[in-house]
Chain A
Amino acid sequence: MSLESAVTNPDVGRAAAAKPVAARIGARKLRAKLRAVLLAAIVPIGLLLLWDVMVRWTGTRLIPSPWGVALMMWDFAFGGIYDDAYSGSLPIHFWKSVQRVYGGFFLAALAGIPLGLMLGRIPLLRAMLDPTLSLLRPIPVTAWLPLSMIFFGLGPKSAVFLVFLGAFYPILLNTVFGVKSVDVRLFEAAGMLGCSGPQLFRAVVLPASLPSIFNGLRLGASFAWILIVVGEMTGVPEGLGAVIMDGRTLSRTDLVITGMIIIGVTGFVSDRLLVLLSNHFLRWSPQHHA
């Protein structure tokens, strides 16, 4: 009798079993996340300890202890400790740098993605531009600094230009690569369904190369944060790069390290944001959905 009811009423059994299974999966996920955070924290904490021990052991006055940097960071952000020119000035420096980084980055994406889509699809354009781009590419972006100061003057514009150049190439090259590796079958499928010509760009080329474009954007953003420091090191009064440069001339290593940490954390957060965006737009792709 009990066997029969279990057989004829499978839904009851399933509903009862479903809840503990879901709860167990939830608990396992939480534990896995905790473990990942703990594993990731080991090395940074170890480095902090090593840094502290080394500073005490050598008795150096050139490098502050982690605690000294923490104080500086607090003062830089909120003020109230040293009350000098840098106290509480983090927001303004941070904001200027962020504006320049994203300004240059968006310009690079705006130019690089459409140009890459066309370069990948139009052989004539590729024949015209590929050699020039290949010649310009090996030149380190930092080597453009003197010229960019002549073009744009001493100031933030030349920093934005450097950021643009640095982000442009990875975005462009990854877009071209993405377009070239689109499965030809997809073009055939679109063609037989009556989609052709310029329509193909939006319907097939862009979505199919999106995984590669996102790779390019992530690379480009990381280069942007590298180049903003170079760009702000000369002739710019505000910005995280300028702060680091000032710290160097004033021999305030705590300020230098503070600037480094803030750039590192901001770069990391901005990359995470891009990953979130990429996960949203690539939810159809099993190997890109993290």
Chain B
Amino acid sequence: MPDPSVVRETAPVILQVIGLNKVYEASNGPVEALRSVDLTVRKGEFICLLGASGCGKSTLLRIIAGFEQATQGEVAVYGRDVKGPGPDRGMVFQDYALFPWLTVRDNIGFGPSHRRVAPSEVAKLTDRFMAMVGLTAFADRYPHQLSGGMKQRVAIARVLANDADILLMDEPFGALDALTRSALQEELIEIWRTTKLTVIFVTHSVEEAVLLADRVVVMSSSPGRIDRQAEINLPRPRDVASAEFNALRREITQQLTSHVGGRRLVTATADS
């Protein structure tokens, strides 16, 4: 296991976000969702975007994915401007967004089979990634016959089979129970290690961020901006019960709550 700080310094820059502003034109006036956001991600990094609800995490991720246009600023992958969604960036949605009319196998093979890859090659790819997420036995099931955890595994395999360079994940485990979530977190780390993917993972759980990330990007709201970046140099696999883990968790939690009026809230409840 290489030292993550070494990876950060030597790996090429894969994603660059410069001076990003985003204003939504809502019916009751404009909403400033992001203000001058800068972010540099190196190949192979695991980044967690952390922040309170409404601070613009999804907006930032969706702009990187190309689903949303920035009002100002630029997003570049390997130095090339992002103009729309593309197979170099794969998104895993919180609500899965699987194609309900396709079986597990065909969902996973969707990307390659629409890029004129030979059917035998598609089958090979599909089998490989189905095995990687442990769904080979469910190859011919439809999404409505799967549990939430299995659906999210299909969604991850679908992006992997499409050979994406950057895996974008928007609270992918938010709807799962604690046991399934921790199993999937472990699997994700394993997949990330074997595939050497770059991951940008949105969460509002400090523990999840400290558990998974090389670097936690803390965001604050109104307007959404990047507040601080914390490198997590804990060795993997990480022990959530260890003193170092909890020290980091406390530190980042404090950072977060200082921006949502957490301190004032605490004194207010102490008075009453």
Interface residues of A (CB under 8 A from B): 183, 185-186, 188-196, 199, 203-204, 207-208, 210, 283-286
Contact = CB atoms under 8 A, between A and B. Distances in A.
Given A185-B95, A203-B114, A284-B144, A192 B100 contact: no
9 contacts: A188-B91, A192-B86, A192-B159, A193-B87, A193-B114, A194-B86, A194-B114, A207-B101, A285-B144
Given A207-B101, A284-B102, A192 B91 contact: yes
B115 A194 contact: yes
A286 B145 CA distance: 9
B97 A194 contact: no
Chain B CB within 10 Å, residue with most, of A191, A192, A196, A285 = A192
A195 B142 contact: no
A173 to B, nearest CB: 22
B99 interface: yes
Contacts of B143: 284
Interface of B: 65-67, 84-87, 89-91, 93, 95, 97-102, 110-111, 114-115, 142-144, 158-159, 162, 164
Contacts of B111: 193-195
Q: Select the residue from B84, B95, B111, B164 with max chain A CB neighbours within 10 A.
A: B111
A185 B97 contact: yes
A193 B90 CA distance: 7
A-B complex: 7 closest residue pairs judged by Cβ atoms: A191-B85, A193-B111, A194-B87, A185-B97, A195-B114, A207-B101, A284-B142
A99 to B, nearest CB: 33
A193 B144 contact: no
A208 B102 CA distance: 10
B114 A186 contact: no
The DSSP consensus for interface residues of chain A is: helix
B95 A285 contact: no
A183 to B, nearest CB: 7
B204 to A, nearest CB: 20
A200 to B, nearest CB: 10
Given A188-B67, A188-B85, A193 B97 contact: no
A104 to B, nearest CB: 29
Contact of A192 (B65, B95, B102): B65
B162 A193 contact: yes
B114 A183 contact: no
Contacts of A285: 100-101, 144
Q: Which of A183, A193, A196, A207 has the most CB of B within 10 A?
A: A193
B62 to A, nearest CB: 8
A204 B102 CA distance: 10
Contacts of A286: 144
B99 A189 contact: yes
Given A193-B158, A195-B114, A284-B144, A186 B97 contact: yes
